[in-house]
Structure 1
Amino acid sequence: MSDTDAADRLRSLVRDVADFPSPGIVFKDITPLLADPRGLATAVDAMTAPWVDQDVDMVVGIEARGFILGAPVARALGAGFVPARKQGKLPWATTAESYGLEYGDDVLELHVDALVADHRVVIIDDVLATGGTASAAGRLVASTGALLVGFGFLIELAFLGGRDRLGGHHVESVIVESADDEPLIERGVV
Structure 2
Amino acid sequence: MADDQSKIERIAKTIKSFPDFPKPGILFKDIFPLLHDPAVFSDLVDVMTNNVRQLNVDVVIGLDARGFLFGPIIAYQLNIPFVPIRKKGKLPGPTMAVEYKLEYGSDIFEAQLQSIKEGQRVVIVDDLLATGGTMSAACELVEKMKGNIVECLVIIELNDLNGRSKITGKVHSLVQC
Find out whether 1:172 has 2:172 as its counterpart: yes
The equivalent of 2:74 in structure 1 is: 73
Report the Cα distance in structure 1 between the residues aligned to 2:10 and 2:68, rounded to whole angstroms. Answer: 22
Report the Cα distance in structure 1 between the residues aligned to 2:102 and 2:13, rounded to whole angstroms. Answer: 26
Conserved 8 A contact 2:4-2:47? no
CA-based RMSD of the aligned residues comes to 2.0
Cα pair distance change 1:161/1:53, threshold 3 Å: same
Runs of 4+ aligned residues of structure 1 deviating over 6 Å after TM superposition are none
SS of residue in 2 equivalent to 1:79: coil
Larger RCO (alpha carbons 8 Å, 6+ apart): 1
- Structure 2 unaligned spans of 5+: none
Question: What CA deviation, in whole Å up to 9, does each residue of 1:90-147 have, x standing for no partner?
Answer: 1222111222345764221111221110311000000011111000000110011111
The equivalent of 2:94 in structure 1 is: 93
- Compute the displacement of 1:4 (Å): 5.6
Q: Between Structure 1 and Structure 2, how many residues are aligned?
A: 176
Cα pair distance change 1:44/1:113, threshold 3 Å: same
Q: TM-score, normalised by structure 2?
A: 0.90
Conserved 8 A contact 1:101-1:130? no
Question: What CA deviation, in whole Å up to 9, does each residue of 1:56-105 have, x standing for no partner?
Answer: 11111001110101111112222110011111111222111222345764
Report the Cα distance in structure 2 between the residues aligned to 1:2 and 1:144, rounded to whole angstroms. Answer: 36
Cα pair distance change 1:45/1:86, threshold 3 Å: same
Find out whether 1:122 has 2:123 as its counterpart: yes
Question: What CA deviation, in whole Å up to 9, does each residue of 1:10-48 have, x standing for no partner?
Answer: 122212223333433222211111121111111122122
- Structure 1 unaligned spans of 5+: 178-190
Report the Cα distance in structure 2 between the residues aligned to 1:112 and 1:3, rounded to whole angstroms. Answer: 36
Cα pair distance change 1:152/1:19, threshold 3 Å: same
Q: TM-score, normalised by structure 1?
A: 0.84
More helix by share: 2
Identical aligned residues as a percent:
43
Q: How does 1:4-153 map to 2 (within 5 A)?
A: 5-101=6-102, 105-153=106-154
